[in-house]
């Protein structure tokens, strides 16, 4: 079939088919007049390329896989494909985690902004517009809830009233939620609190819980740090809240 026929049959523009040929993904025979000719195998080949692109695989990897697909068994194609998909999944989960942390930081920044008094004077460093949480960077980083400027010697969590708006069943449910999210975490004591290490893929859930906890218990200070496959969560609270900190996050081990 001609390139126009293949393009119509597969829904792939002719310009893309020419690009695939130049990249070595879709070979074509030539007529004496120089027109491209494709066999039925080109349809299956394009379907394979399209499926691989849908999984986020780059053309270089697709080219490598096509060699296995052409000459190997189905089992070999499966073995070659699985680690590539796993790698894309890890990357996608990392991006989701970073966006979740960034979203949480924006919510916390809005809450911080709404809590500031309306002043008739010009803005100055004490306004605190830019002293909210810091989002994680593309390769890891930290987000801190309740952060203040260096000029402010006492942080908010240290002066907030130790009083939680949750009581009874709501408190029990919140504790159970934290225990489930932190299951298997390694706990070590730090000044005024605990440091917990757990898999990085849990950062989305942990960030959501931290934002919710801030709304009812502003005396807790949360600091999240991405470190490759690990997530380090630091929680601090005034001495009067030590029992509640232990109840929600577990004792140091």
Q: What domains are defined for the chain?
A: 3-71 (1.10.1660.10), 96-116+126-249 (no CATH)
**SS3 of residue 173 by DSSP:** helix
pLDDT, residue 150, reads 42
81 contacts 51 by C-beta, under 8 angstroms: no
pLDDT, residue 140, reads 45
pLDDT, residue 252, reads 53
Q: Above 60 in pLDDT, residue 151?
A: no
174 contacts 245 by C-beta, under 8 angstroms: no
57 contacts 48 by C-beta, under 8 angstroms: no
Question: Which residues have C-beta within 8 Å of that of residue 16, sequence separation ≥ 6?
Answer: none
pLDDT, residue 170, reads 79
pLDDT, residue 213, reads 83
Q: How high does pLDDT run on average in the chain? A: 82
Q: Between β-strands 230-236 and 36-37, what pairing exists: parallel, antiparallel or unpaired?
A: unpaired
pTM for the whole thing?
0.52
Beta sheet of 186-190, edge-to-edge order = 142-145, 221-227, 230-236, 193-199, 186-190
pLDDT, residue 127, reads 64
Convert the pLDDT of each residue in 91-133 to its tens digit: 887 777 777 777 777 777 777 777 777 878 777 766 665 554 4
Percentage above 70 pLDDT, the chain: 84
Q: Kindly state the average pLDDT of the residues 247-253.
A: 73
Q: Above 50 in pLDDT, residue 40?
A: yes
Structure confidence at residue 9 as a pLDDT band (50, 70, 90): very high
Structure confidence at residue 25 as a pLDDT band (50, 70, 90): very high
């Amino acid at each position: 079939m001609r390139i126009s026929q293949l393009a119509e049959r597969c829904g792939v523009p002719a310009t893309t088919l020419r690009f695939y040929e130049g990249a070595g993904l879709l070979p074509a025979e030539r007529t004496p007049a120089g027109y491209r000719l494709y066999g039925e195998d080109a349809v299956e080949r394009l379907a394979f390329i399209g499926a691989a692109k849908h999984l986020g695989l780059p053309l270089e990897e697709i080219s490598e896989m096509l060699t296995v697909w052409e000459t190997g068994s189905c089992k070999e194609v499966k073995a070659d494909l699985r680690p590539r998909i796993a790698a894309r999944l890890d990357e996608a989960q990392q991006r989701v985690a970073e966006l979740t942390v960034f979203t949480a930081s924006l919510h916390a920044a809005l809450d911080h902004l709404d809590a500031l008094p309306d002043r008739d004077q010009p803005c100055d460093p004490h306004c605190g517009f830019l002293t909210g949480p810091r989002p994680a960077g593309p390769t890891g980083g930290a987000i801190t809830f309740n952060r203040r400027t260096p000029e402010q010697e006492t942080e908010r969590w240290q002066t907030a009233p130790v009083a939680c708006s949750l009581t009874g069943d709501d408190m029990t449910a919140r504790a159970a939620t934290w225990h489930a999210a932190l299951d298997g975490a390694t706990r070590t004591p730090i000044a005024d609190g605990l440091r917990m290490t757990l898999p990085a893929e849990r950062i989305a859930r942990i960030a959501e819980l931290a934002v919710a906890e801030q709304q009812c218990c502003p005396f807790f200070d949360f600091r999240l740090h991405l470190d490759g496959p690990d997530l380090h969560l630091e929680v601090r609270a005034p001495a009067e809240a030590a029992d509640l900190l232990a109840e929600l996050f577990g004792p140091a081990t």
